[in-house]
Amino acid sequence: MAHNVLLVGIDAGDFRTIDPLIEKGAMPTVESLLEEGYDATLESSIPPWTPTAWTSMTSGKNPGKHGVFDFKTPDGERLVDTHDVRTSRIWDYLTEAGSRSIVVNVPVTDPAPEIDGIVIPGFLGREVDRAEAHPDGILDELRDAIGEYSVYPDGSLEGEALCDEYVRTMRTRRDAIEYLCTTHEWDFAMVEFQVTDLVFHELPDDRHIERVYRKLDEFIADVIGAVEADTVLLASDHGMGTMGEWDVRVNTWLKRRGFLETSVDGREYGWSKPGAETGRREGIVAQLARELSRIGLTPQRIEAGLAAVGVATLAKRVLPDSVLEQAIVAGEKIDEESSSAYFPSSSGLGIYCDDDVQETIIDGLSAMTIPGETEPVFERVLPAAEVFDGPYASNGPDVVVVPNGFEYFVSATVSSSVFDRARYRFNHKPEGMLIASGPTVEETTERRSNAIYDVAPTVLGLMGIPLDTGFDGERIAEIAPEPSTAKEYSHRSSARRSEERPEVRSRLEDLGYFD
């Protein structure tokens, strides 16, 4: 074994955020790593959202090879879990090579794969009282050692209290990885910080963002000092930046052109809860907004009413200029069987469509411009076959839409207008970040550019493990200079089957991950 490796995952980590904070002296640990090591912009997967991007990073493969295209399965029935990852990830390769891994809070790891090492499941998994960690009993051991530990922050909080909760959540990640790495043997360790993304969605002001990232820098210093890894990597799944003034509703565009049919009984792809009386699935905010509008409340009072029942932050984001209009149209659901095309999810960036309408849709969306301007909405609209490659590519969408500079939020809402004023200050960007420090790492004088798929082969290269011939990424020679052999691996799931996770749906709905 060459040496051990620590990978720190920073969800939404972006040099657009970090560079200005370094200039203020707010992130001395990251600044030191930059000065002595390698740094690069890390081009994310398409789509650049958490489940797809982290799976792409840790597998070294595109969604057509690993099978995770969005938060939900392609049929929209459930959240993705470990069983939906159809290829090996870093810790699987290491297990086959006889090396031990410790994995904390990485998305899409519930139920935990049965590897040589430890897995504490992360985002999209169940809360720890029901999560399936590996090995059995490790969660009890961890909580006995460090105290309270949860996958998700308390989403009922707001303002400074919510920021305090984010800091507490990050602290538990630090405590967990430090405890596990100092009491158990390991060759590779990975810990992911998720709230570095949440803060942009929930507390999108500079003061709270800076506070979270200052504490992140402090916790990274603590972890590096405690675990004493030979090589340290900091990597993010995607970036984050401000967006333009428009939301774009692709399903509304499809409906106007006769491709999309809706009904009150069709499938809703947003986060939802069962209607107690009708049996329909209805987004909680839409349901409450509609009921409040029926009794004559103004848009402002509707927002206040939603706040009063505990979804204040979510209400502010999802209610557009005309709250009443949104409440009325919220009952429209996609009628998948009757539609020749539909856009199921804002985070999937994909349209499912019949072959005979694909070219027409691509041409039409490619020509779409911002109201009153000539700027195109989409940088690329292309057949999914040009984006995804592999045995599971057919499970994904048929057309991929890439917004121009990710300046626009591409919404799955069906409404009366294709464009509406933007609800968010920030949007995911495809440019993440990679920083590396260690004895084999070449110091860079200029920022480089790599793909998210390069991380897994680089980790294996550092550890002297043969690369997978199926990788879409490459070993980064400036980090792992020793030439690597390659071999063909067989892949199988080593996780136990888990049940559906309605409590996770509810929690993520409250966090506002879907429109």
* Residue 310, Ramachandran bin (φ over 0: left; ψ between -120 and 50: alpha; else beta): left
Name the band, by pLDDT with cuts 50, 70 and 90, for residue 490: confident
| 411 plus 431 within the same structural domain | no
Of 484, 483, 474, the closest CA to residue 449 belongs to 474
Average pLDDT over residues 312-326: 40
CB-based contacts of 205: which residues, under 8 Å, 6+ apart? none
Q: Is the pLDDT of residue 321 over 60?
A: no
On the 0-12 / 13-18 / 19+ scale of CB atoms within 10 A, 111 is buried
Q: How many domains does the chain have?
A: 2
Low-confidence winner among 206-215, 355-364, 481-490 (lowest mean pLDDT): 481-490
| 143 plus 96 within the same structural domain | yes
| 96 plus 196 within the same structural domain | yes
> How many CB atoms sit inside 10 A of residue 137's CB?
9
> How many CB atoms sit inside 10 A of residue 488's CB?
8
User: Does a structural domain hold residue 204?
Assistant: yes
Three-state DSSP class for residue 419: strand
Query: Could you list the residue range(s) of the whole structural domain that residue 277 is in?
Result: 246-283+330-423
| 46 plus 194 within the same structural domain | yes
- Given 357, 388, 423, the domain boundary residue is 423
Query: Cis before residue 47, ω within 30 degrees of 0?
Result: yes
Average pLDDT over residues 14-35: 98
Q: Where are the alpha helices (H) located in 128-249, listed in sequence order?
A: 138-146, 159-183, 195-202, 206-227
| 73 plus 163 within the same structural domain | yes
Average pLDDT over residues 386-413: 96
Q: Which residues pair with 333 in a beta bridge?
A: 263
Span 217-241, pLDDT tens digits: 999 999 999 999 999 999 999 999 9
Tokens coding 361:
């849709």
**C-beta of residue 110 within 8 angstroms of C-beta of residue 121:** yes
User: Does a structural domain hold residue 55?
Assistant: yes
> How many CB atoms sit inside 10 A of residue 356's CB?
8
| 236 plus 250 within the same structural domain | no
- Given 358, 388, 423, the domain boundary residue is 423
How many whole angstroms separate alpha carbon 408 and alpha carbon 388? Answer: 23
How many whole angstroms separate alpha carbon 125 and alpha carbon 123? Answer: 5
Name the band, by pLDDT with cuts 50, 70 and 90, for residue 503: low
Task: Give strand ranges (E) for 31-150.
Answer: 38-43, 101-104, 117-120
User: Does a structural domain hold residue 324?
Assistant: no
Tokens coding 55:
């799976």
Write the CATH number for 132: 3.40.720.10
| 222 plus 86 within the same structural domain | yes
| 347 plus 466 within the same structural domain | no
How many whole angstroms separate alpha carbon 218 and alpha carbon 29? Answer: 7
How many whole angstroms separate alpha carbon 8 and alpha carbon 174? Answer: 10
Identify the pLDDT of residue 169.
98
DSSP character at residue 382: E
Identify the pLDDT of residue 442.
96
How many CA atoms lie within 13 Å of 148's alpha carbon, on the beta-carbon side? 9
| 416 plus 443 within the same structural domain | no
Q: Is the pLDDT of residue 90 over 80?
A: yes
**C-beta of residue 102 within 8 angstroms of C-beta of residue 180:** yes
**C-beta of residue 197 within 8 angstroms of C-beta of residue 511:** no
Tokens coding 231:
């090589």
Name the band, by pLDDT with cuts 50, 70 and 90, for residue 500: low
Identify the pLDDT of residue 272.
34
On the 0-12 / 13-18 / 19+ scale of CB atoms within 10 A, 148 is exposed
Amino acid letter for position 233: L
Low-confidence winner among 244-248, 430-434, 455-459, 460-464 (lowest mean pLDDT): 244-248
Q: What is the residue-averaged pLDDT of the chain? A: 87
Tally: H helices and E strands in the chain? 17, 23
User: Does a structural domain hold residue 214?
Assistant: yes
User: Does a structural domain hold residue 489?
Assistant: yes
Name the band, by pLDDT with cuts 50, 70 and 90, for residue 128: confident
Identify the pLDDT of residue 76.
82
User: Does a structural domain hold residue 315?
Assistant: no
| 431 plus 359 within the same structural domain | no
DSSP character at residue 451: E
How many whole angstroms separate alpha carbon 284 and alpha carbon 271? Answer: 8
Name the band, by pLDDT with cuts 50, 70 and 90, for residue 283: very low
Q: Is the pLDDT of residue 212 over 80?
A: yes
User: Does a structural domain hold residue 176?
Assistant: yes
- Given 406, 423, 440, the domain boundary residue is 423
CA-CA-CA-CA torsion for 502, 263, 349, 422, nearest 10 degrees? -90
CA-CA-CA-CA torsion for 62, 63, 64, 66, nearest 10 degrees? 90
On the 0-12 / 13-18 / 19+ scale of CB atoms within 10 A, 492 is exposed
Span 295-313, pLDDT tens digits: 444 344 444 444 444 444 4
| 439 plus 365 within the same structural domain | no
Task: Tell me if the pTM is above 0.95.
Answer: no
**C-beta of residue 150 within 8 angstroms of C-beta of residue 127:** yes
| 107 plus 232 within the same structural domain | yes
Looking at per-residue pLDDT, the higher value among 494 and 404 belongs to 404
CA-CA-CA-CA torsion for 332, 338, 339, 340, nearest 10 degrees? 180
User: Does a structural domain hold residue 303?
Assistant: no
On the 0-12 / 13-18 / 19+ scale of CB atoms within 10 A, 73 is middle
Tokens coding 121:
């499941």
Q: Where are the alpha helices (H) located in 236-311, listed in sequence order?
A: 250-256, 284-294, 299-308
Looking at per-residue pLDDT, the higher value among 52 and 290 belongs to 52
